[in-house]
Structure 1
Amino acid sequence: MTFTTFRTALIATLGAAAFTLSLPAAHAEEQGAVNRAWTDTRQATDKAWDKTKSGSEKAWDKTKEGTTNAWDKTKSGSEKAWDKTKDGTANAWDKTKSGSEKAWDKTKEGTTNAWDKTKSGSEKAWDKTKEGTTNAWDKTKSGSEKAWDKTKEDTTNAWDKTKSGSEKAWDKTKEGTDNAWDKTKHGTEKAWDKTKEGTSDAAKSTKNWGKRTGKAIGKWGDKAGKDISNTFSGDGK
C-alpha cells in the first residue's frame, strides 16, 4: 500500500465515522458495523505504516552502506592517484631542478667568458681611443695655437689699418664739417640780415598803412554822419 492510498483510506474512514455518529439512536446497529470497519482500517493502516517504515529503514541502510562503500573506493582511488601524481611531480621537479642547475652552470660559465672577452676588448679599445684622443688633442692644440697667432696678427694689422683709415677719415670729416659750418654760418648771417632788413621795411610799411587807413576811415565817417543828419532833417536834396 502506498502512502497516497493509505491517506485516502484514512480520510474515507474518518468521514464514515463522523457520519455514523451524526445518525439517531435507531441506527445503533449500523454504528457497530462502522466501528468494526474503523478498527479494521486502523489495523490495516498500522501494518502498512510498519511495512513502509521497515522498507524505508532498509532502503536507508542500503543507501548508507552503498555511499560508504563508494566513498571508500573514491577515497582509495584518490589516494592512489595522489600518490602517483606526487611521485610524478617529485620526479619531474628533480629532473627540472637538475636541468636548471646544468643550464645555469653553462650560462654562468658562458657569461663569465663573454664578460672576460668584452672586458679585454673594451680595455684595448679604450687604450686605442685614449691614445688617439691624446694625439688628436695635441694636434688640435698645436693647430689652435697657430691659428690663434695668425688671427691675432691679422687682427692687429686690421686694427692698425682701420685706425689709420679712421683717423684719415675723421680728419677729412672734421675738415669738411668746418668748411660746411663756415658756409652755413655765413649763409645764415646773410639770410638773417635780409630777414631783419625785410622785417624792418615791412614794419615801416605797416605803420604808414595804418596812418593812411585811419585818415581814410575818418573822412568816410564824417561823410557818413553828414549823410545821416541830412536824411533825418530833410536837407538831403
Structure 2
Amino acid sequence: MNASFIRTVPAVLALAFASIGLSANAQTTAPATAPAVAPAPTVTERAKETTKDAVDATKSGTKKAYNATKTGTKKAYRATKKVAKKGANVVENAGHSTANGMRAAGAKIGEKIPGTAENAAAKKQ
C-alpha cells in the first residue's frame, strides 16, 4: 500500500463524517427563539426604587407618629382638665366646709357670751 493512500484515508473519513453531521444539522428545525427577557435593572435604578420606598415609608411613619401625638395630646388635655375641675371642686367644698365650721363654732362661742344675739336666742329656748 502506498503511503499517500494511508494518509488520505483518514482525511476522507473525516470529510465523510463531517458531511453527514452537516446534513443532519441542516435537516433539524431551528430552535424557537426564547421570549425576550427584560434586562436586569441597573444599580442606579435599584437605588432610585429603594430610595423611593424609603421616602414613602418615612412619610407613612411620620404621619402615624403625628396622628398618635395629636390624639395623645388631646387625651392628656381632657384628662388634665377633668382632674383640675375635680381639684377645684374639692378645694371649693373644703373652703365651704371650713367656713360653715367656723360659723358654727362662732355661734357656739356667741351663745356663751352675754349680750350677743346667740346668747339671747339660747336663753329663750
Q: TM-score range by the shorter chain?
A: 0.5 to 0.7
1:1-237 alignment runs, 5 A limit: 33-103=42-112, 105=113
**Identity of counterpart residues, as a percentage?**
12
SS in 1 for 2:55: helix
Task: Report deviation, 1:48.
Answer: 0.7
User: In structure 1, how many angstroms separate the alpha carbons of the residues matched to 2:55 and 2:105?
Assistant: 72
Would you say how many aligned residue pairs link Structure 1 and Structure 2?
A: 76
Following TM superposition, the consecutive aligned residue runs of length 4 or more in structure 1 with deviations greater than 6 angstroms are none
Question: What does residue 117 of structure 2 align with?
Answer: none
SS in 2 for 1:43: helix
Quick one: higher RCO (CA 8 Å, sep 6+), 1 or 2?
Answer: 1
Query: Residue by residue, what CA displacement relative to the aligned partner does 1:24-61 show, whole Å, maximum 9, x if unpaired?
Result: xxxxx98x621111111101110111011101110011
Unmatched 5+ stretches in structure 1: 1-28, 107-237
Task: Report deviation, 1:102.
Answer: 3.4
User: In structure 1, how many angstroms separate the alpha carbons of the residues matched to 2:56 and 2:103?
Assistant: 69
User: In structure 1, how many angstroms separate the alpha carbons of the residues matched to 2:109 and 2:45?
Assistant: 92
SS in 2 for 1:90: helix
More helix by share: 1
User: In structure 1, how many angstroms separate the alpha carbons of the residues matched to 2:42 and 2:105?
Assistant: 91
User: In structure 2, how many angstroms separate the alpha carbons of the residues matched to 1:45 and 1:69?
Assistant: 36
Code of the residue aligned with 1:63 in structure 2: it is: G
Code of the residue aligned with 2:86 in structure 1: it is: G
* Root-mean-square deviation over aligned CA pairs: 2.2
The structure with the largest alpha-carbon Rg is 1
Task: Report deviation, 1:99.
Answer: 2.1
User: In structure 2, how many angstroms separate the alpha carbons of the residues matched to 1:49 and 1:86?
Assistant: 54
Task: Report deviation, 1:86.
Answer: 1.3
Task: Report deviation, 1:75.
Answer: 1.7
User: In structure 1, how many angstroms separate the alpha carbons of the residues matched to 2:43 and 2:66?
Assistant: 34
Unmatched 5+ stretches in structure 2: 1-38, 115-125
User: In structure 2, how many angstroms separate the alpha carbons of the residues matched to 1:83 and 1:58?
Assistant: 37
Task: Report deviation, 1:100.
Answer: 2.9
Q: TM-score, normalised by structure 1?
A: 0.30
Q: TM-score, normalised by structure 2?
A: 0.54
